[in-house]
Amino acid sequence: MLELVIGGARSGKSAYAQQSALEYCKQDSGRKKGDVLYIATATAGDNEMAMRIEQHKLSRPRDWQTIEEPIKLASVLKQHANQSEFIIVDCLTLWLTNLLAVDNEQAQREIALLFSTLPELTPSVIFVSNEVGMGVVPLGEETRQFVDEAGRLHQRLAARCHRVTQMTAGIANRIKDEATD
């Protein structure tokens, strides 16, 4: 089952994804919390971001495996898909930021690799991402490109996900549900 969780900054996306993983593990007594893989895409470019990353680390169970990968998301998903029951990718907009900072062509290749990997994923996967396109059109060219790329990424991923959940003020609003439990 693939799920996209989108929302604004501090809307509860990560907490929702983590709670979903914990509930999934409780459904079957044979599963344990350690069956969760957390793929973090953030890089600490400054002290404030380093503190955010540390808070995220402290908020999740210690027995979850964490892999920090800012660029090669599809490779990590392929490599670890058969080793985990549940995967959280947090977050796609930071991943996209990292990609666009490197090279637009590489960004497009990595995005294409992600989409070609989706059909191969057997564990449940939640993709966390920031909804950045609900405000005014940005003035700067790079910012507009980022907002446009994020919007396209979200649309393509939402079309392929079984569930799409929008977080607002800590409240989950399911906007698509084709999942079979």
* Residue 41 CB-density burial (10 A; 0-12 exposed, 13-18 middle, 19+ buried): buried
Q: Do 128 and 91 contact (CB within 8 A), yes or no?
A: yes
Q: From the candidates 56, 80, 154, 162, give the one annotated as an active-site residue.
A: 56
- Name the strands in the sheet holding 124-130, side by side, starting at the edge strand that comes first in the sequence: 65-68, 36-40, 86-90, 124-130, 2-7, 163-168, 171-177
Q: Known catalytic residue: 80? A: no
Contacts of residue 84, defined as CB under 8 A and 6 or more positions apart, other chains included, come to 35, 36, 37, 65, 123
Q: Specify the 3-state DSSP secondary structure of 17.
A: helix
Would you name the residues annotated as active-site residues?
56
